[in-house]
Structure 1
Amino acid sequence: MSLSAANPQMSTAFDICWPNGVEAQPATPLVFASPHSGRLYPDDMNPALDPLLIRRSEDAWVDDLVAEGPIRGAPLIRALTARTYLDVNRDPTELDPRLFGETLPAQARTLSPRVAAGLGVVARVASGGAEIYDRRLSLAEGLSRIARVHAPYHDALSRLLSRARTAHGFAVLIDWHSMPATAAPGIDFVLGDRFGASCRPALTDAVETMLTDAGYRTARNFPFAGGYTTEHYGRPERRTHALQVEINRGLYLDESRLETTADFERLRRALGGIIARLAAADWRSLLDA
């Protein structure tokens, strides 16, 4: 299996699935994001680790699971580049000193918990803790990845949220992820709102109610409280609410082979119904925007 699915000069870091396939005035304050479902591995990555082991870090097929979003009026931005190449759900200054062979910039956040775990903006390890590289990267490599992938993704996401605020007075970002089945045993979905800091409680309450009505088991903020995207954009006082939703991969995926199971379509239909309810909700009243 080869990881080479993109040219090293690749400039397309993301795409946006627009409602009806056309960019138009937002019909809803909702914006969907799938930052970790990217499947492209640029040629300049040159990993030493087995390709299947690297791919287990992907939030595989999450973008497909939430494809109802654009149908219901919520644009979906999805990273195309794999998170092990460049993780758009990290602060761009989260640089791992154990990965780079040079002195890092003074503003680098080398002591963050994510960097300590080897999961900075350029990951040092894959899912399970295996080292991705048998070499140190140059700082130029890391900064180039940030410029080509992280910066354009967040520029586009910021513009989507700005459009929603302009049209509706506020924006509601749902950041979709998946988690290993072992991460939260007995839990189907984990809702991360930075312990209430990234959105009004009504948003988390509403999503949790929709999930439990559909028969799913939920938890809040443990083991995932929300990453960089939720923390960076979730500013209720600035009329932007952000919620991270983690989906248990055991609901739809054979994690050893990264293949969907017979339950994939059932989950996609269930999420489609939940997304329809999200799109129909009176967010202005719920959020008191």
Structure 2
Amino acid sequence: MPAGPNGLDAPFVLSAPEAGVAPIVFASPHSGNLYPETMVSALCVPLMDVRRTEDAFVDELFANAPRYGAHLLAARFGRSVVDLNRDPHELDPAMFHDGPPRACALPTPRVEAGLGCLPKVGARGEAIYGRLLSKAEGEQRLAGVHDVYHGQLASLLDAQRALHGRALLVDCHSMPSVQPGRRNLTDIVLGDRFGSSSDPRLVNRLERVFRNHGLTVARNAPYAGGYTTRRYGRPKRGIHAIQIEINRGLYMDEQAITRSSGFARLRPVMDAAIMEMVEAIRQFPNR
């Protein structure tokens, strides 16, 4: 894999449609598991503690998307390296000994909790770094990973809209099966920013697939869609964006980060969801 900007490995794998290109992109921004040595050497916790923040194996669950005519964009770096579902200005200036790499937006609850674009806590909320980072380290990750990934994603969606008059982004994530203060977490959470990032007819069709396969589904609670859904979802301009959150208990051992027996059972469900959304956006009227 060639090196990208600033010497980091290429930040994503892009798989093109094998036939019958449809105006749809499946993206997996949090399934990567690469960590630069400069980051690993700065950790004060075992790397496994950091890896438990990954949406492990989500890219594999959607690996058949190109077979059905969709692009698949999968990140290669772990979300703790740089969170691709955060605004690049969601930064904590206290993380850096020589100042932040970019202008910082107003503090948000996520940043204050250590979950900004450059996260500083692990899966259990513990601090992961044993030292402050440098401005150069931060900029390397933002420029070499975040900027490149979103540049590619934006280009894909713009190209499909130009060609077909419409495009659909399905942003694919997973969620911990047990979360403090939340009982009875559903199998699937679909986020459309409360109806603002996608035409509801597309979300309805996706929800129906999961329910027909016996899975429980919620909308926008507790996840309504993050930076990616908000940035790209512009239904009036012909680009729709839907976020999928999959309960990790369905398909993996969350502590060991290994696939469970449920993985093989879930793959056909995701294939059905892929096929349904490919067909839905092919049939969908232009803006």
**TM-score if structure 2 supplies the norm length?**
0.92
Equivalent-residue separation in structure 2 for 1:72 and 1:106 (angstroms)? 40
Amino acid at match of 1:262: S
Equivalent in the alignment of 1:211: 210
1:28 equivalent in alignment to 2:22: yes
Equivalent in the alignment of 1:5: none
1:14 equivalent in alignment to 2:8: no
The CA deviation at 1:121 is: 1.0
CA contact (8 A) 2:82 2:117 kept: yes
Alignment of 1:177-196 (within 5 A): 177-183=173-179, 185-196=184-195
Equivalent in the alignment of 2:196: 197
Amino acid at match of 1:277: E
Unaligned runs of 5+ in 2: 1-5
Equivalent in the alignment of 1:4: none
Equivalent in the alignment of 1:59: 55
CA contact (8 A) 2:101 2:139 kept: no
Equivalent in the alignment of 1:40: 34
Amino acid at match of 1:86: V
Identity of aligned residues (%): 45
1:195/1:38 Cα in 2 relative to 1: closer, same or farther (>3 Å)? same
CA contact (8 A) 1:180 1:248 kept: yes
Equivalent in the alignment of 1:272: 271
Per-residue Cα deviation, 1:126-163 (whole angstroms, up to 9, x for no partner): 11201110111112211111010011101100111012
CA contact (8 A) 1:96 1:110 kept: no
Equivalent-residue separation in structure 2 for 1:258 and 1:140 (angstroms)? 31
Alignment of 1:225-236 (within 5 A): 225-236=224-235
Equivalent-residue separation in structure 2 for 1:277 and 1:119 (angstroms)? 33
1:53/1:112 Cα in 2 relative to 1: closer, same or farther (>3 Å)? same
Which residue of 70, 76, 84 maps to 1:80?
76
Amino acid at match of 1:158: A
Equivalent in the alignment of 2:241: 242
Equivalent in the alignment of 2:3: none
Q: What SS does the aligned partner of 1:244 have?
A: strand
Q: What SS does the aligned partner of 1:41 have?
A: coil
CA contact (8 A) 1:230 1:242 kept: yes
Per-residue Cα deviation, 1:150-194 (whole angstroms, up to 9, x for no partner): 111011001110121022101100000000001463400001111
Amino acid at match of 1:265: A
Amino acid at match of 1:253: M
**TM-score if structure 1 supplies the norm length?**
0.91
Equivalent-residue separation in structure 2 for 1:147 and 1:105 (angstroms)? 10
Unaligned runs of 5+ in 1: 1-7
Amino acid at match of 2:258: E
1:141 equivalent in alignment to 2:137: yes
Amino acid at match of 2:9: S
The ranges of structure 1 where at least 4 consecutive aligned residues each deviate by more than 6 angstroms after the TM superposition are none
Q: What SS does the aligned partner of 1:19 have?
A: coil
208-217 or 240-249: bigger deviation: 208-217
Equivalent-residue separation in structure 1 for 2:196 and 2:141 (angstroms)? 30
Equivalent-residue separation in structure 2 for 1:271 and 1:180 (angstroms)? 18
Per-residue Cα deviation, 1:192-212 (whole angstroms, up to 9, x for no partner): 111111111112111111111
1:156 equivalent in alignment to 2:155: no
112-121 or 250-259: bigger deviation: 112-121
Equivalent-residue separation in structure 2 for 1:106 and 1:41 (angstroms)? 22
Equivalent-residue separation in structure 2 for 1:200 and 1:116 (angstroms)? 33
Equivalent-residue separation in structure 1 for 2:102 and 2:83 (angstroms)? 21
The CA deviation at 1:282 is: 5.3
Equivalent-residue separation in structure 2 for 1:110 and 1:98 (angstroms)? 14
Equivalent-residue separation in structure 2 for 1:89 and 1:186 (angstroms)? 21
CA contact (8 A) 2:24 2:281 kept: no
Per-residue Cα deviation, 1:63-109 (whole angstroms, up to 9, x for no partner): 00011211111100111011101111111111112322234478311
- Aligned residue pairs: how many? 278
1:106/1:279 Cα in 2 relative to 1: closer, same or farther (>3 Å)? closer
